[in-house]
Each structure stands twice: as structure tokens, then as C-alpha cells.
Structure 1
Amino acid sequence: MDRKKKLLIVSHAPSPNTLTLRDAVAQGAGHEDIENVEVTVLAPLDAGPDDVLACDAIILGTTENLGYMSGALKDFFDRSYYPCLEKTQALPFAYYIRAGHDGTGTRRAIESITTG
């Protein structure tokens, strides 16, 4: 049997609604029809470069704060970007935004960092 693929979910969930959203993402990723995937869910302040380097794919979740990602997710990027830069090119990822406006600024920021 092949080794399980590791999916890392890094999500800022400061409210009951965002916690429900994060849990729905984790539940979908861990659905019984999906085989050989180990799901790990971490808050951005608990995740770091070692977690990113150990995963096979990542899902990022954030609230939209003043047209930008949460400070917690930005902190995660600040601590992880350079240690992971040359080692995670082509790492599959997805993201979701709990937007209070249209999420455009948050989307632009995440895409700028992840394609940098």
C-alpha cells in the first residue's frame, strides 16, 4: 500500500461561523470516499515551515480583515515563506476566504505570496 498523502489545512477560525467553515473543509477532505489522505488542521499561529515541508498539499483559510488576509495567516506566511520557497514549488494548494466584502484584496494577497 502506498504511503498516505498528507493534507495540511491552515485556517484562521476566530468565530463560530469560521470554525464551522473550517470544520466543513476538514470533514470534506477527510471524507470516507477519499482514500490514503491524512488530514491535519492547524491554526496559523501553530503552523510553520516544518508542517508545510511535511505535507503533500495545503489548504489555506482566512477571514478578510480590512480587505486583507488575517494577521494570523500573514504571520504564518512571514515565518514560512523563505524556509519553504525553494522546496515547495508546485505544491498543490487551495484557499478559501470568509469575506465581509468581496474578498478581492485578500485573494490578490494570497495569490501574490503563493506564486512569488
Structure 2
Amino acid sequence: MTQTERKQLLIIAHAPSPNLQRMLDAIVRGAEHEDIENVEVRVLPPLEAGPEDVLAAGAIILMTPENLAYMSGAMKDFFDRTYYPVLEEKQGLACAIVVRAGHDGTGTLRALKTILTGLRWQQVQEPLLCKGQWDEAFLAQCEELGMGMAAGLDAGIF
């Protein structure tokens, strides 16, 4: 299969800390599992991602820390720049959310869900909310989410 026939899983991740980077690495590790053949994984920080990246994606994973009961400013900036340019063309885009929350994460999830509802993107997995004190189990959960998204894209489920 040629590169152009491969489906793209776009991961927009704000990972400013070592633990968030570990979570991102776990998502990518899952998404690049050896059994997944026809998916290209592309990772971009929110400040570098734009509408053209979303338009090329077959599915998207959004990862952000909880900052002041909201998504990171970088993730908000991504949505500010891409919302209207992708609104019509990417309705139904399969997506998943990963939030690393030191507190409860409800404000962050609410804000993301509101934006995704407006975009008419389809959450194909329950949001992964990694909250409270750091737990090494977060890494396995992230890897599973990445694998699930890539496998679903590979199988044509979304």
C-alpha cells in the first residue's frame, strides 16, 4: 500500500512536563502497534498544528493538561485557529480526548466537549481523564487509547 493510501491519525498534544511526554509516548506506542498496518501517526504540538493538518487526518487524538480548570492555552489557540476553516469539511471526524488533571478535570472536559460538539466531531472513545496524583497506570491507559484509535482507523470503523 502506498503512503497516500494510508490513513492518518493526528495527535495534537500539549506535553510541557516529563509525565505528559510519557503519556504522549504511550499513546504513540499504542497507535504504532505492529499489528496496525495502514495508519500513519502524526504528532504535533497545538501551537504548530493548523487547519491543513486536521483536513488531512482520518481521526484525531487531543491531549491537554488541565490548566486552571480549563484546557491549556496552547490547545485553546489551536481551536481558535482551526475551528472555522475545518468546520464544514471535517464533520464526523473520529476523535478522542486525553486530559491530565491534577484536580477533577470536569471544566477541561466540558470545554473540550463543547468545542467538539460545535465541530460535530464524533468522540469514538470515552474521554481518558487521568486525574489526581501521578499514577503509572495512566501510561497503559494512554497506550490502549492510542491502539484503539489506530486500530479503528485501520479497520475502517471510522
Q: Which amino acid aligns with 2:42?
A: T
Other-structure match for 1:85: 87
The two structures have a TM-score, normalised by structure 1, of 0.97
1:9-60 per-residue CA deviation (whole Å, 9 max, x = no partner) reads 0000000000000110011111111120000000000100000001100000
Distance in 2 (alpha carbons) for counterparts of 1:23 and 1:105:
25
Q: After TM superposition, where is structure 1 displaced by more than 2 Å over at least 4 residues in a row?
A: none
Secondary structure of the residue aligned to 1:58 is: strand
Other-structure match for 2:117: 115
Q: How far did 1:8 drift?
A: 0.2
Aligned length in residues: 116
The structure 2 residue matched to 1:24, chosen from 18, 23, 26, is 26
Distance in 2 (alpha carbons) for counterparts of 1:47 and 1:31:
24
Unaligned runs of 5+ in 2: 119-158
Distance in 2 (alpha carbons) for counterparts of 1:31 and 1:95:
20
Q: Which amino acid aligns with 1:81?
A: Y
Distance in 1 (alpha carbons) for counterparts of 2:59 and 2:91:
11
Distance in 1 (alpha carbons) for counterparts of 2:112 and 2:36:
27
Secondary structure of the residue aligned to 1:21 is: helix
Structure 1 window deviating more from structure 2 (25-34 vs 57-66): it is 25-34
Distance in 2 (alpha carbons) for counterparts of 1:23 and 1:95:
15
More strand by share: 1
Distance in 2 (alpha carbons) for counterparts of 1:32 and 1:74:
33
The structure 2 residue matched to 1:103, chosen from 99, 102, 105, is 105
Q: State the identity as a percent.
A: 66
